Amino acid sequence: MNRWRALIVLGTAQFLMVLDASVMNVSISQLVEDFDTEVTAIQAVITLYTLVMAAFMLTGGKLGDMFGRRRVFVVGLAVYGVGSGLTAVAPTVGVLALGWSVIEGLGAALVLPALAALVAGAYRGRDRAVAYGVIGGLAGAGIAVGPLLGGWVTTYLTWRLVFAGEVVLVALILLLMRWVPPERTPPRRTRLDTVGVVLSAGGLALVVLAVLQSGTWGWVEPRNPPFTVLGFAPTLYAIALGVGLLYAFCRWERRQEAAGHEPLVSLDLFGNHPLRSGLMTLFNQNTILLGLFFVIPLYLQVVQGLDAFETGLKLLPVSVTMLIASMCGSLLLRIASPRAIVRIGLLVLLAATLWLMTTIGPELNGASFAGSMALLGLGMGMLASQLGNVVQSSVAERDRSEAGGLQYTAQNLGSSLGTALIGAILIGALAGSVTSRIESDPRISQAVAGQATVHIEAGLSFIPADQLSTALAQHPEIPPAEATAIVEHYQDAQIEGLKTAVFACAAITAAGLLFTHRLPRDRRPAPTPGD
């Protein structure tokens, strides 16, 4: 039992990192009400959290190399606890973003790369495969407990108690850090590549920000942007600038290596085929997962009118099956290779998203929805059970912090883009559908249709139909019959937008199969260079 004590500590930290996002997703409606804001503002807070982690994960990995992974892990947990405490007492959306998105995000950027490397350093061979299966399973447990615990606490008490509880959990982990075995002292102290930090963080931030705002700004034709570029929306220009910064980052890193300096990350790692395939699949997995976990709560809470706890209960099947499949990772390796398991997982995930599309409608089909959620969790769990071990076991011990940084950068960039891209697709499809329906309805006068189009182009929110009806009733110039027709079209457009967003997730899942051909084909645990 003593050999698994380190895994208890590290696994609890992994559970804590996942719990946050699932609580936030299931509490969207309550957060909107508490802070008197809109869904898009909470979407921005959620995206900023994963963006901060993605932008600084490489830096966190490098700091682990410089100062020791165990030490950086402890410091990161302390920072995370401070952010959780501030989030628990946040009086405004701005303070919420500071505490949760920024401070907790920076703490997680220190914790997660060190966590991945510490697991790999504490275990070998079959034990390492078991350990990463457990880590993946606890990530599934975080998704399981988040909607239920967060939903219950949000509905009957307050979501703030979850973050207060996280402070207590952080203190407990710090008290048990003696269970994590000491590591070797870093061979030498290197300088942090600050130029690389700025270029990588700036490039990632611009890309995700542009995707997040695309629903408001527009992709080409401007909708409601803060400014235009040559008469066009700034979205594609911001993406191009972000890509340019990332290209400059790659060039700078090559120059650093050529000059004999320590780069932020060695680009030679991308020549490692199993590592590259693992990172791409992790990116794909989190894009789908966070995209769906943004869309599904909106369907359940805004369209179906469920509260946060009821939403958590509806999400229980995906949580349970993901936990079970993740925990069975080492058993699956006895009958199939990591590549086969991941490919089957993606096919299961594709079937689940297509099934989910058929369940989305004005009335909730409980049995069919639960089945699609269970299948979704099964596919996600199969991926989670393999990919962490593939990434860490494909590199030498000296590269584990960098591999951990890349691993969680891929995951959190996928999470950022999943929330932003799928959210933008949802709002874009909603706006396009409701505009088309209103303009083609003979029951609605041209004057009212034109007025509605102007409001839609200024920015559309995903709100309950009765809230829209109340808002229209405050405009006496809109006849009641025409207001009723607009509400009907908005309800239909909501369903169409949700289906479009889920279909986009299905397309991303299918595309993920293209990146799996370099995953390990050996059923035995992958040998680690240098072990």
pLDDT tens digits along 231-264: 899 999 999 999 999 999 999 999 988 888 888 8
Q: What is the pLDDT of residues 317-329, one digit of tens each?
A: 887 888 788 777 7
Name, in order, each residue with C-beta under 8 angstroms of 288's C-beta and a sequence gap of 6 or more. 349, 353, 418, 505, 508, 509, 512
Does residue 133 or residue 78 have the better pLDDT?
78
pLDDT at 526 over 50: no
pLDDT above 70: percentage of residues in the chain: 93
For residue 433, give the nearest of 456, 450, 467, 454 by alpha carbon.
Answer: 456
Q: Would the pLDDT of 297 be above 80?
A: yes
SS3 475: coil
pTM: 0.81
Neighbours of 82 (CB within 10 A): 17
Q: Which two tokens stand for residue 447?
A: 């004057």
Query: Average model confidence (pLDDT) for the chain?
Result: 84
Contact criterion met (CB below 8 Å) for 46 and 75: no
d(CA 118, CA 388): 12
Say what the pLDDT of residue 78 is.
95
Q: pLDDT-based confidence at 222, cuts 50/70/90? A: confident
Most confident range, picked from 31-40, 342-351, 359-368:
342-351
Question: What mean pLDDT comes out for the span 270-286?
Answer: 89
pLDDT of amino acid 188: 56
Average pLDDT over residues 94-119: 89
More confident residue, 509 or 467: 509
- Inter-residue contact 404 to 276 (CB < 8 Å): no
Q: Which tokens is 65 given?
A: 């190399």
**With the CA atoms of 234, 235, 238 and 239 taken in that order, what torsion angle do they form, in degrees rounded to the nearest 10?**
-150
**Structural contact between residues 174 and 78, judged by C-beta atoms closer than 8 angstroms:** yes
Q: Mean pLDDT throughout 124-138?
A: 73
State phi, psi for 526 to the nearest 5 degrees.
Answer: -60, 130
Dist. CA 158–CA 321, nearest whole Å: 28
Structure tokens at 308: 């946060």
Task: Give the contacts of 1 (CB within 8 A, at least 6 positions apart).
Answer: none
Name the pLDDT band for 346 (thresholds 50, 70, 90). very high
Which is higher by pLDDT, 28 or 444?
A: 444
Distance between CA 271 and CA 250 in Å, rounded? 14
Region 475-494: what's the mean pLDDT? 86
Q: What is the pLDDT of residues 162-214, one digit of tens each?
A: 889 899 999 999 999 888 877 765 555 567 888 999 998 888 888 877 876 77
Tell me the torsion sign for CA atoms 94, 98, 102, 105: negative
Q: So what's the pLDDT on residue 141?
A: 64
Does 506 or 122 have the greater pLDDT score? 506
Backbone angles phi, psi at 341, to 5 degrees: -65, -45
Question: With bands split at pLDDT 50, 70 and 90, how would you rate the model's confidence at 144?
Answer: low
Q: State how far Cα 494 lies from the chain centre.
A: 23
- Interval 72-81: pLDDT, tens: 999 999 999 9
